[in-house]
Structure 1
């Protein structure tokens, strides 16, 4: 597998993990932590989309 494929796979795993942690933080009633993981998930997703756009160009 190419290096870019591994990078995108790890990035996708981190995005999914951050959204899972949002649910865990809400269950533990740490709403500030849920907000942090929510924003982190979208930031990682945006970075992945940026990398994909650069790769396709």
Structure 2
């Protein structure tokens, strides 16, 4: 556990924050903002998955 990848941890934190923000926006009934956070969350998650695939291919 000595080799911690801080970039991946930070990316995962922002993905979780985006999906928590979706719930908050839905609670406030700001549906366009919830949709925006949902797209941001999926975009960040897709970026993280593609980054992991590139790293494991080498």
Same fold (TM over 0.5): yes
Larger Rg, first or second structure (1 or 2): 2
What do the CA deviations read for 1:1-57 (whole angstroms, capped 9, x no partner)? 45xx11110000000000000000001110000000001000000000011001101
Give TM-score, length-normalised by structure 2: 0.90
Q: State TM-score, norm by structure 1.
A: 0.92
Q: Which has the higher helix share?
A: 1
Match of 2:25 in 1: 25
Pairwise CA RMSD: 0.9
How many residue pairs are counted as aligned between the two chains? 55
Query: Structure 1, unaligned stretches of length 5 or more?
Result: none
Moved over 3 A (4+): none
